[in-house]
Amino acid sequence: MAEKDSYQKLIDHHNKWVFGAPGPNLLRELFEIIFTPEEAELLSKIPFMPYKANYLSKKLKIPVEELTKKLDDFAQRGVVFRYQEGKRVRYAHGDLILMFLRTPWWTGIDDELNTKLAPLVNKYYEEEFGPEFMGQTTIAMRAVPVNQTVEDTRTIMPYDDVVKHLDHFEYYSVSHCGCRRRHNIDPAYEKSKYPTETCLHFDALGRYAVENNISREITKEEVKEILKQAADAGLVHGLENSIDGGVTICNCDPDYCLYLDSMLKMPDPVPKGLQKSNYIREIDEEKCIKCGLCAKVCPIEALEFIKDEKELIFHAEKCMGCGVCAYKCPKGAINMKHREGEADIPESGMEFGKRWLTERGREPAKFIQENSL
Ligand code: SF4
Ligand code: SF4
Ligand code: SF4
């Protein structure tokens, strides 16, 4: 009975955070696989907002050396985020996205734990977490056009430029894509045809991942090379959905990406895919030779090619402005042009969080109170 309680406490703790903890049954099973009851008990008291170990030690009444050792172990397991700024170290509980959809897969290693976790996490996302996560009006990731597919460069804002985004950072790392890795391990799915070492993290997140041996440090030039390889492979660049763009660049595929996959597979009325970019595909009919390649590479079926009639049909309402078709067109017949009006992008990660909470009927001020120590 006591064991059950500690897992329930952990579920309740996650329910207080931004993304909540939908579907308690599968979630309990997942927690039981990765945590002992004692670990679940301790984690249920670690806040999602960052605090120093000294402060946590006083509040939780656990000797600081003992607590730091446990927190560092959780950090290596991708469960607790460890921020280091100079000598100052703070710890924050990772949310369910970090814990299940991201860090376990970043190493690219198929160990016993990951082999066991993959089918369950996929089921949890598809049946319980995903429909609620993708059901929000504000989407967590935003498509950004492939570099150099926008002809009129005067229209490109810095937050729409995936390469300029790199200038905000001093530290770069690459990890394996959680969505593709999870599906590659799960025997219920075919292996992805896309590369996996394409998830890019910067500064505090990148340092955390490298220091804890779950990512690899790379240079800015290597990041640019990975972006190019991703574009060559037909992957879609995604940034966190805020003007500051966050500390991650995703390179998403149409088969297993948690955003794009939902677009093609989850039933209506779940809002779909990545947040659209400020751009939309525009074709120069005179240059087009009707080869149909753009329809083949479009990740979300916004283009259809009727072979016999050599006709291209464009579903403008679906186009997320990723530029994959423009990048791949052999005749340079596609340009990404600015859409009418500007997309309503949250100013910062904080603003994104406020919108998300408000959509869930929660008060941001009360939320801070509930999640503070
Ligand atoms: S969101 Fe995209 S890049 Fe990120 S882990 Fe999923 S598929 Fe990979
Ligand atoms: S890939 Fe280019 S040339 Fe081929 S059908 Fe599409 S727009 Fe036309
Ligand atoms: S048509 Fe498809 S590939 Fe082209 S920009 Fe739109 S969503 Fe991307």
Query: Does 78 map to a domain?
Result: yes
What average pLDDT score do residues 198-214 get? 95
Say how many Å lie between the CA of residue 35 and the centre of ligand 3: 42
For residues 98 and 19, the answer to whether their CB atoms sit within 8 Å is: no
Query: Does 73 map to a domain?
Result: yes
Question: Residue 204 and residue 212: Cα distance in Å, rounded?
Answer: 12
> How many residues are given for the chain?
373
pLDDT number for residue 268: 59
Does 298 sit in the ligand 3 pocket, CB within 6 Å?
yes
Alpha-carbon separation of residue 91 from 81, 150, 360, 361 (angstroms): 6, 41, 27, 28
CATH number of the domain where residue 45 is located: 1.10.10.10
Name the band, by pLDDT with cuts 50, 70 and 90, for residue 272. low
pLDDT digits (tens, 9 = 90+) for 294-311: 999 999 889 999 999 999
Looking at the CA of 306, which ligand is closest?
2
- Residue range of the domain that includes 18: 13-123
For residues 327 and 146, the answer to whether their CB atoms sit within 8 Å is: yes
Tell whether the model's pLDDT for residue 153 goes beyond 80.
no
Note the Cα 259 to chain centre separation in Å: 8
pLDDT number for residue 160: 79
What average pLDDT score do residues 37-65 get? 97
Say how many Å lie between the CA of residue 310 and the centre of ligand 2: 11
pLDDT digits (tens, 9 = 90+) for 306-347: 999 999 999 998 899 999 999 999 999 999 999 888 788 899
Question: Residue 45 and residue 61: Cα distance in Å, rounded?
Answer: 11
Amino acid at 40: A
Name the band, by pLDDT with cuts 50, 70 and 90, for residue 1. very low
Tell whether the model's pLDDT for residue 244 goes beyond 80.
yes
Looking at the CA of 328, which ligand is closest?
2
Query: Does 156 map to a domain?
Result: no
Query: Does 55 map to a domain?
Result: yes
Residue 313 β-bridge partners: 304
Question: Residue 62 and residue 90: Cα distance in Å, rounded?
Answer: 16
Query: Does 347 map to a domain?
Result: no
pLDDT digits (tens, 9 = 90+) for 101-117: 999 999 999 999 999 99
Say how many Å lie between the CA of residue 116 and the centre of ligand 2: 43
pLDDT number for residue 340: 87
Does 323 sit in the ligand 3 pocket, CB within 6 Å?
yes
Say how many Å lie between the CA of residue 280 and the centre of ligand 3: 7
What is the chain's alpha carbon radius of gyration, rounded to the nearest angstrom?
Answer: 21
Name the band, by pLDDT with cuts 50, 70 and 90, for residue 151. confident
How many domains is the chain built from?
1
